[in-house]
Structures are given as C-alpha cells and as structure tokens.
Amino acid sequence: MGRLFWKLFLFIWLGQVLAVLGTGALFWAERRGFVGTAEQAMRPPPPPPPGTMRERGEGPPSRFAEGFAHDEPPPPPPPRRAPGHSGIHLPFWPLFAGFFASLLCAGGLAWYFAKPIRHLRRGFKAVSGGDLTTRVSPGMGRRRDELADLGQDFDRMAERMEGVLEGQRRLLHDVSHELRSPLARLQAAIGLARQQPERSGDSMSRIERESERMNRLIGELLTLSRLEAGCTLELGSVDMDELMAGVVEDARFEGMARALTIAYVPGEMACVRGNAEMLHRAIENVVRNALRFSPPGDVVRIEAGLVEAGRFMITVLDRGPGVDAEDMASIFTPFFRGKGEANGDGYGLGLAIARQVVLASGGEIEAANGKESGFRISISIPSSSD
C-alpha cells in the first residue's frame, strides 16, 4: 500500500469515527437530560414547614389535602445508586460495531481510489523506461469516472509518442537510404576522375548532378520538418486565379516531354488566406505527382473554383495505375512511393509536404482512386472572405 492509500484511509476513517462519536454523544446527552427531568418530576413535594395552619389546627382542613394525605399513598423514593456508580452506561458493542464498520468502509474507499493511481504510476514508470507499448486502460476494469478518463488520456499519449518515435526511426532509415545512392555515385565519379583524368569533365558533371540531387532532398526534408514542427508561416491573402494559372503553365511545360495534356477547368475564383509560396509548392507537388504517374500521351485534369460553404476546391485527376487500398492510408507519409515506372524520379516527400501546407492553411486534403481508373487528390481551403 502506498502513502496515498494510508492518507485517504486515515482521513476517511477519522472522519467517520468523529461523526459516530459526535452522534453518540448527542444522543447520550439528550437521554441524560430526559432521565434527570423524569426523576425530578417523580419526587414527592417537600413537607410543609412546621407552624403552618394545618399543624396548628387552625382553619378547616382541605378535602384535597386530606384525600392526598389519606387516600393516595406517597410515591416511592428514587432508587439509591450504589456507591462509586456514576450512572453513565456507554454502549460498548454498538460503538465497537460502528468503529469496525467505519474501518472497513474507509479501507474500501481508500483502496478504490489508490489502486488506479498506483496502476497509472506503473504505466508512467514503464513509459519513462522506454516501453511505449504500455497501456493502462485494460487495468482500470469497468470504472467510469475521472480516473478512468485519465487512463484513457495516458493511453492516447503513449500511442502518440509511439507513433512519433516510430515515424522518426522510419524517417531516419529512409533518409539514410535516399542519401546512400547519391553518395555512392559521388564516390564512383571521384574514383573515375582519378583513374581517368581525360574523362574528368564527365565525372564533374556527374558530381554536380548528384550534389544538386542531395541538396534538393535536404531542402525538402528541412521544409517538411519545419512544417511538422508547427513553424508559423507568414499568412496573407492569396489570389488563387493567379496562383493556379502559374501552376497550370508549369505543368503544361513539364508535360510536353511525354506528350501529356493538361485539361484545366477553372470555376469561380477567390482569394484564400495562406502562404503564397508554400501553397504554390503544395499544389505543384500534387500536379507533378499526377504527371509522373500518367501514361504518355494521356490527360491530366485540374479543376479549381469556389464551392458551397465558402471553400475553394482544387481537384487533380490522372488516369494512372492508382493506389492499392492497403496503401491509401500511407499516401501522405514521407518517402511513400506508389506503383509505377517512374518511382525512382522522386523522394516520396511531395505529398507529405502538400498535406502539411494545406493543414497549416486551415484546409483539408483527401486522396482516392478514380471511379474507373486513375487517382484523384482533392484540396479544400477556406476562402479569405469566409
């Protein structure tokens, strides 16, 4: 038993004992007062002092006095108490039963409150020791009180911490894997330049490309880490008509290499509150993802405009292979790559960055497979006039 148990036990038990004693003393005092009053009422009146009219024979005797003196016997004298007996009778067995019942009640209440707290303490100790799989709700039983709610909050905290640490481990593994390939190619290019000085130009070009690739990867990682850490973006009014025009123009230029057509369907345009540069990058990442997985010569459809409830909706639809149902929950996870021939072209960070940017703007982003084929990503952002 811990210290909290004994504190609760003593406070509850002492409170019950004082309540029992106070109640018993009150009843005892009332009973003693009633008995004294009754004894005083039953005592006979004191005899008349000598020299009264009756003893001197003066005046006629009263019929009431004669009847009281001759017809009714005098009341018996009060019983004499034994010497040394005060007359106080304490109810020993009722008091003992009350003390014993309060003892059991106090112990039960203290155990009821102290047990879940000890369980929570063991859970915190396990989590601090590195065991993030610890859960305390199953040990709470069928409790439906604040302590049970505290146990559920603890489980959610432990689950969140486990997910964050697992994500960090996975991110570290993926980053090291992504950096290993360009580093290996850099070392190969350097070795080739040393062995074949006449081909140093080609080696330097390879080194430059791999350096740019690593720099781009590190830049995206820094952007994602800042967004996930909750760094405040400079928000302002963003003209979506102008922003979408720039995104569509860049997409058409990139799609020319594979004969891809961009079908842009603009609706009613508006302004949203966000960071213009980051929103441009987020939508561009979504469009590039559609371009990368679309078959050559196909069409990528982009729709943008206001919808009901004052929200600006952007939808990007391609006719690529889509995403398996079991992978749909991981589509916005860093370094996730869907199926397709062009998987090696990116790092799997574009959609993760897009999600963080949209959330920072107070919007929502959803992904789903097309009705017949392809893949669709929808972005909803509140308009600044809302």
Which of helix, strand or coil describes residue 27?
helix
To 10 degrees, the CA torsion angle through 117, 123, 124, 127? Answer: -170
Element (H, E) at 73: none
* Cβ atoms < 10 Å from Cβ of 39: 11
| DSSP string computed for 188-229 | HHHHHHHH-GGGHHHHHHHHHHHHHHHHHHHHHHHHHHHHHT
Number of helices (H) and strands (E) in the chain: give both, helices first. Answer: 9, 7
For residues 313 and 306, what is the distance between their CA atoms, to the nearest angstrom?
Answer: 6
Which of helix, strand or coil describes residue 268?
coil
Which of helix, strand or coil describes residue 375?
strand
Q: Which of 113, 180, 184, 176 lies closest to 147, judged by CA? A: 113
Cβ–Cβ < 8 Å for 264, 251: no
Q: How far is CA 332 from the centre of its chain?
A: 23
Q: Is 177 a catalytic residue?
A: yes
Residue 254 exposed, middle or buried by CB count within 10 Å (0-12, 13-18, 19+): middle
To 10 degrees, the CA torsion angle through 240, 242, 247, 251? Answer: 130
b/e map 275-305, b = 16+ CB within 10 Å: bbebbbbbbbbbbbbbbbbbbeebebbbbbb
**Options 70, 89, 177, 280, the catalytic residue:** 177
To 10 degrees, the CA torsion angle through 180, 184, 186, 187? Answer: 130
Residue positions annotated with a catalytic role: 177
